[in-house]
Amino acid sequence: MDSLDHLKTWTAASAFGSSGQRAPLSACRSASQENGNIVSGGPSIIRKPGAYRSNLELTNSLRSNFVAAQEDYAAIAAADHNNNNHQTNGAANGAANGNGLHVDTERGGRPPAEVWTATEDGALFVPRIDWSQAGLQEEPAQYDITVKLFFLETEAVAKRAQHAKEALDLVLRELDAPAVDLLIVSFPGMSFEGDCEWEADRKNATQGNDEEELAAWAAIEQLHLAGLAKKIGLAEFGTEKLDRFLKKVQVRPAVNQINIKNCCNVPPPLLKLAKEQSIELLAHSDCLDILPKGTLRELLGPGLGGAGILADPEKGTGGLQGDLAPQWVVKYTAVVRDRGVIENKGYFAGAELVEEA
């Protein structure tokens, strides 16, 4: 496999079946706890979200997507091989699986990576995407499309503007939509945790990095001004941090998502500030550490549970050399407006391949 600097992986509410059509992924089929308005028309109480966390959904869906793509594209490649060569017995030396497709037995019987991955604009897509199958069943105007972009701790801060545009472009291309209704950005090092709402709000005031967040927000503002995101929002901003932020931005956030793990009230000062500034408070149950570095390496590594994209560090063969540094994750949901039904839901994730010293 050729050396690459960037890698993108994805999972969605639909994946490729052996016929080339999209079939539902069981890992994404169940409905999760979606964003809920906690200000208008309801009590200022956030219920404990339970055991559900988006990192479990993401990692399980990615793993299922990799396995399905390996099986489906291997079957397609085998059928093409048979049609082209009029043979079904495989290679004469026995290094085939009986239908003419070579299987690398040293890598757990997986098909070659080039069968089920693809290189596009210098980035490796794992698995490959058939963009001809992209799009929603109805016109984009019939949907509420929400996107949440997670900037990760291992990401280079200077590349956040580039990554924001890149992530949103992938979602728009996947949904074949001109814009999304809401784009929420989540920064690393931010949380809303404490023994009570007052303590959580106090701790939040010193988290993150204001200057880095403001610099990234300028890029999010440009996506909004360009018409690619109708509304933009934040996640995990408490009273003091949000107040400081509002004084320095050009386009104010329309939404602020918060996740309180323990059952408690929303801090009254935050409710007051949000009401005064016409900012909608939303509850969410997303994991704060959505894609740890070790998790991604395990998913793409040479082990039994991995996809075999990365080389075995001991043998130094059989895949990409180096380690992966996760950069960002984007989560998207398309809900049919008049029925409230989730039609399309998925993730994209970006990582950089780092050469080991």
One pLDDT digit (tens) per residue for the chain, 357 residues = 444 566 777 765 432 222 233 322 222 222 232 333 223 222 222 333 333 445 788 888 888 889 988 888 877 655 554 555 544 444 334 333 333 344 443 445 678 888 899 998 888 999 989 898 899 999 999 999 999 999 999 888 999 999 999 999 999 999 999 999 999 999 999 988 888 889 989 998 999 999 999 999 999 999 999 999 999 999 999 999 999 999 999 999 999 999 866 546 788 999 999 999 999 999 888 888 888 888 888 899 888 788 889 888 777 666 888 888 899 999 999 999 989 899 999 999 999 988 765
Which pair of tokens denotes residue 83?
């049609």
Question: Nearest-CA neighbor of 14 among 136, 148, 184?
Answer: 136
Indicate if the alpha-carbon torsion angle 43, 48, 49, 54 is positive or negative: positive
Question: Nearest-CA neighbor of 177 among 138, 130, 123?
Answer: 138
Residue type, 318: G
pTM recorded for the entire structure: 0.80
Which pair of tokens denotes residue 103?
């299987």
Which pair of tokens denotes residue 64?
């299922």
CA 246 to centroid of chain Cα atoms: 27
Residues in the chain: 357
Written in H, E and C, the secondary structure of the chain is CCCCCEEEEEEECEEECCCCCEEECHHHHCCCCCCEECCCCCCCEECCCCCCCHHHHHHHHHHHHHHHHHHHHHHHHHHHHHHHHCCCCCCCCCCECCCCCECEHHHCCECCHHHHCEEECCEEEECCCCHHHCCCCCCHHHEEEEEEEEECCCCCHHHHHHHHHHHHHHHHHHHCCCCEEEEEEECCCCCCCCCCHHHHHHHHCCCCCHHHHHHHHHHHHHHHHCCCEEEEEEECCCHHHHHHHHCCCCCCCCEEEECCCCCEECCHHHHHHHHHCCCEEEECCCCCCCCCHHHHHHHHCCCCCCCCCECCCCCCCCCECCEEEEEEEEEEEEEECCCCEEEEEEEEEEEEEECCC
CA 179 to centroid of chain Cα atoms: 18
Give the CA diameter of the chain: 75
- Residue 202 burial (CB count, 10 A): 15
pLDDT for position 323: 82
Instruction: Characterize 55-71 residue by residue with b for buried, 16 or more Cβ atoms within 10 angstroms of its Cβ, and e for exposed.
Output: bebbbebbbbbbebbbe
Which pair of tokens denotes residue 229?
């995101």
163 neighbors 348 (Cβ within 8 angstroms)? no
